[in-house]
Amino acid sequence: MAKKTYTELVSSLGRNAESDECYTPVDQVLPLLPYLNKDKTYYEATSGISSNILDGFTKWGYSIVGSNGRDFFTCEHNDVYDGIITNPPYSLKDKFFRHCYDLGKPFALLLPVASFQGGARGKMFMEYGMSALVYNNRVDFTGKGNPTFGNAWFMWGFDTMPPNTIHWVDNPKIGEKIEFREITTVDTLFDM
Ligand SMILES: C[S@@+](CC[C@H](N)C(=O)[O-])C[C@H]1O[C@@H](n2cnc3c(N)ncnc32)[C@H](O)[C@@H]1O
């Protein structure tokens, strides 16, 4: 079988059931936490089957409520607590962005970096703004090693991340074990 180019791979991963069920490894939530507020409560909008993001937040002492099977598109402004944190199904990313913007609460969506660009999505970013926390190391969502694409948290509405800003971070490498550590600010993350 002919080898797929990077673009073909990401594009095919964006449209199949397998990529829609990529669970976020627990420690991969760590770089996002300093951008959040420990006194607030967040909403994991797609925790119906897996709760890895919930486990990560619990591990590091941050407050988050799972969707418990609720369809995200039925959520209204008051249902999503202080903001949305999730790894949405890649095939529905445009609809997730649209609904997040409509809800008007801060949101962080973990998606392939290729999601920066694209017809309807790009227009939304131009109109409302988009910031990102780019992961320097690829994330092994399947546990099989050799991840084929990089990820970023697409962030909007957080005080810690000005509009249309990009930050880069050394997220945990594959196989790296992160022990518990109190995190209070972005700065405390970088001397890990
Ligand atoms: C990429 S997985 C991420 C799972 C989990 N958030 C995590 O990061 O570990 C996306 C999940 O979204 C769920 N999902 C699909 N459509 C949804 C919707 N409209 N509302 C809520 N969850 C949905 C799927 O069942 C799937 O488990």
Pocket of ligand 1 (CB under 6 A): 20-24, 45-50, 52-53, 67, 71-73, 86-89, 92
What CATH fold (topology level) applies to the domain 19-191? Rossmann fold (3.40.50)
Percent of the chain with pLDDT over 90: 65
The helix/strand/coil state of 118 is coil
For the chain, what is the mean pLDDT? Answer: 85
Average pLDDT over every residue of 134-159:
92
Task: Show Cβ contacts of residue 107 under 8 Å, excluding neighbours closer than 6 positions.
Answer: 83, 84, 85, 100, 155, 156, 157
Contact 64, 43 (CB under 8 A): yes
Contact 83, 103 (CB under 8 A): no
Residue holding tokens 């694409």? 149
Q: Using alpha carbons, select from 94, 90, 82 the residue that is nearest to residue 23.
A: 90
Q: Measuring from atom 9 of ligand 1, which residue has the nearest CA?
A: 23
**DSSP structural state of residue 102:** H
Q: How confident is residue 11, by pLDDT bands cut at 50, 70 and 90?
A: very low
Residue holding tokens 């991340």? 161
**DSSP for 149-175?**
S-EEEEEES-TTS-TT-EEEE-PPPTT
pLDDT given for residue 16 in this prediction: 53
**Which atom of ligand 1 sits closest to the CA of residue 49?**
27
**DSSP for 64-100?**
EEE-TT--GGG--GGGGTT-EEE---GGGHHHHHHHH
Radius of gyration of the chain (CA): 16
Contact 57, 63 (CB under 8 A): yes
Tell me: pLDDT of 64 over 70.
yes
Q: How confident is residue 174, by pLDDT bands cut at 50, 70 and 90?
A: confident
Instruction: Dump pLDDT digits (tens) for 116-137.
Output: 999 999 999 999 999 999 999 9
Pocket test for ligand 1, best of 46, 80, 96, 153 (most atoms within 8 A of CB): 46
Query: Which amino acid, one-letter code, is at 13?
Result: L
CA of 96 to the centre of ligand 1 (A): 11
**Which atom of ligand 1 sits closest to the CA of residue 86?**
6
CA of 49 to the centre of ligand 1 (A): 7
CA distance 185 to 17: 37
Instruction: Dump pLDDT digits (tens) for 71-106.
Output: 999 999 999 999 999 999 999 999 999 999 999 999
